Chains A and B, each alone.
Chain A
Amino acid sequence: QVQLVESGGGSVKPGGSLRLSCAASGFIFSNYYMNWVRQAPGKGLEWVAYISSSSTFIDYADSVRGRFTISRDNAEKSLYLQMNSLRVEDTAVYYCMGGPGPGDYWGQGTLVTVSS
């Protein structure tokens, strides 16, 4: 069955870095655009970034542009989010999301906490 499993979350101080990973299985990962979406505690959903199937097209939310980098390895069926210069306001559960249709597949999320 389809699975997206995020990892790499944790606690970090402001200014620090983390790299999130999302391992895909059960579908042809290399065919589809993938996204990162986050949700701060008690808040709504925020789209963070997307990457096209062959990494040709990438875009970011203004709130993370220049600090976060999305990438993928189709051979490994994995999606990544390198997060640098982290801020307190980046604290959130980070979800990977994608698939053949909009919002088809979501991971369970990984919590990133940025605190001094």
Chain B
Amino acid sequence: IQLTQSPSSLSASVGDRVTITCRASQDISSNLVWYQQKPGKAPNLLIYDASTLQSGVPSRFSGSGSGTDFILTISSLQPEDFTSYYCQQLNSYPHTFGQGTKLEIK
């Protein structure tokens, strides 16, 4: 299963609302997770089952979608949010990742 994540990079300002999309090459139901990764660190789980917020993750993060189209939304960007984001499908092996989105300060 291929995951196409877009955009690959995104410039935005503090307080902006942004969306990142992840499209699967076939139906993966809701078997999708979103990670945030800061430089030099392991990824951190944000969203699982496409739309369930991981415990401890700020509510400005949300996920939606099912089937082949998924969206990660950050409702009001904070300075610590400017980093990289990845989707991963867990529907079938190999558990492929999207190519990633780098969120940069405008």
Counting residue pairs across A and B whose Cβ atoms lie within 8 Å, the total is: 49
Which residues does chain A contribute within 8 Å of B94, judged by CB atoms? 47, 59-62
Give, as a whole number of angstroms, the nearest-CB distance from A46 to chain B: 7
Cα-based distance from A95 to B42 in the complex (angstroms): 8
- B97–A44 contact, CB under 8 A? yes
Residues of chain B lying within 8 A (CB to CB) of residue A44: 86, 97-100
A35-B95, A47-B95, A59-B93 in contact; A106/B43 too (CB < 8 A)?
Answer: yes
Looking at the complex, which one of A45, A59, A95, A101 makes contact with B88 (CB distance below 8 Å)?
A45
The reply on A50 being an interface residue by CB < 8 A is yes
CB-based contact A109/B88 at 8 Å? no
> Does residue B90 face the partner (Cβ distance < 8 Å to A)?
yes
Interface string of A76-97 (1 = CB under 8 A from B): 0000000000000000000101
> 1/0 per position for B74-97, CB-CB distance to A under 8 A?
000000000000101010011111
A44 to B37, CA, bound (A): 10
Q: How far is the CA of A101 from the CA of B88 in the complex (A)?
A: 13
Look across to chain B and name the residue whose beta carbon is closest to the beta carbon of A96.
B42
- With both chains docked as a complex, state the minimum distance between the C-beta of A108 and any C-beta of chain B, in angstroms: 6
Which residues of chain A have C-beta atoms less than 8 A from B88's C-beta?
A: 45, 47, 102-103
- Mark contacts of B30-74 with chain A using CB atoms, 8 A cut-off: 1 yes-contact digit, 0 otherwise: 000101010000111100100000000000000000000000000
Q: What is the interface of chain B, defined by CB distance below 8 A to chain A?
A: 33, 35, 37, 42-45, 48, 86, 88, 90, 93-100
Given A47-B95, A103-B48; 13 other pairs, CB 8 A cutoff: A44-B100, A46-B97, A47-B97, A50-B95, A59-B94, A60-B94, A61-B94, A95-B42, A95-B43, A102-B45, A103-B43, A104-B45, A106-B43
